[in-house]
Amino acid sequence: MELTLILGSVALVAAVGMLWWGITARPSAARGNLFAGLPEPASDTSQLVGLTRQLGRSARRALPSRLVDSLEVNLVQAGHPHGLDLPRLLGIKITLAALGALVPLVYGQIVIGVVAAAVLFFLPDYWVLTVRDSRQTQMRADVADVIDQMTICVEAGLGLDAAIARVAATSDGPLTNELRRTLSDIRAGVPRAQALRALADRAQIMEIRQLVTALLQSQKHGVAMAETLRIQSSQMRLKRTQRTEEKAAKLTVKMLFPIILCFVPVFMIVVVVPSFISLTQAV
């Protein structure tokens, strides 16, 4: 029993350590600058990273294509957090599943081993989805301010590409990073319309898609870019206000359960218990 507990603890610590290493290991700064703007981060920085990525490449051929494609889309939308690419993430998933199933299978606990392997295999997916949702929320909150800056730059006489470059140089955040990548695509020879559509596909939020559509229509029909940006900025601020009002309206309903669960019992204790004690003493 003690040996099982020790081996289980070792496997759990190893799994957590592997997950932490896989998330926090970063490529070198020089190779990161060299490959800036590319969809996948730089190549191996150590032999262990290379082994993990090789394991992920092998697992990619064995796993269902729908599962791999979905994970790749989520990883792109999450912005490749901590320099993770798809092969390395798949290698981490396989390693975590193997470590989680090792001890239960050794002691004949097949069901527990399968459950532990499945949970640890899909744990990185949950983390990627959490990072993606947080990133999209931040982008949705920043889009109005970014459009305002682009409007000021365009009204000052800059072109759209120069305005994007100016905003990317003076701001920070996930949306600014996506603008930098879009600008890199344009400078590399990708048509502006294609680069903007790729931006909307990577962001996967309605506000960015609406902005890209408006910019492409403005470019196609010769409408003033500054006026288009000003209208989009006004609409984005209106949507942000509406989202805030919606959250405020839901707050009453969300507070109902904590009030019933926490406040009402305490209130009843404060009101009823003294009366009950007084009645008991009187009897």
Q: Which domains does the chain have, with CATH numbers?
A: 2-134 (no CATH), 137-240 (1.20.81)
Contacts (Cβ under 8 Å, ≥6 apart) of 157: none
Please answer whether residues 106 and 92 qualify as being in contact, where contact means their C-beta atoms are separated by less than 8 angstroms.
no
Q: What stretches of the chain show up as alpha helix (H) in DSSP?
A: 2-24, 29-34, 47-62, 65-77, 86-106, 110-155, 160-170, 174-187, 192-203, 206-221, 225-258, 264-282
Asked whether the beta carbons of 174 and 133 are under 8 A apart, the reply is: no
Contact assessment for residue 214 and residue 225, using Cβ atoms and an 8 Å cutoff: no
How high is the pLDDT of residue 44? 43
pLDDT in tens, the chain (283 residues): 455 555 555 555 565 565 555 555 444 444 444 444 444 444 444 566 667 777 778 777 878 888 888 888 888 888 888 888 888 888 888 888 888 888 777 777 788 888 888 888 888 899 999 999 999 989 988 888 888 889 889 988 888 889 989 998 888 889 999 999 999 999 888 998 999 999 999 888 888 999 899 989 888 888 888 888 888 888 888 888 888 888 888 888 888 888 888 888 888 888 888 888 888 877 6
Specify whether the CB–CB gap between 219 and 193 falls below 8 A: yes
Quote the DSSP letter at residue 107.
T
* The predicted structure's pLDDT at residue 219: 83
Q: Report the pLDDT value the prediction gives residue 118, as an integer from 0 to 100.
A: 86
Q: What is the pLDDT of residue 13?
A: 57
The model's pTM: 0.69
- Residue 159's pLDDT is 87
Q: Quote the pLDDT of residue 134.
A: 92
Residue 12: per-residue pLDDT: 56
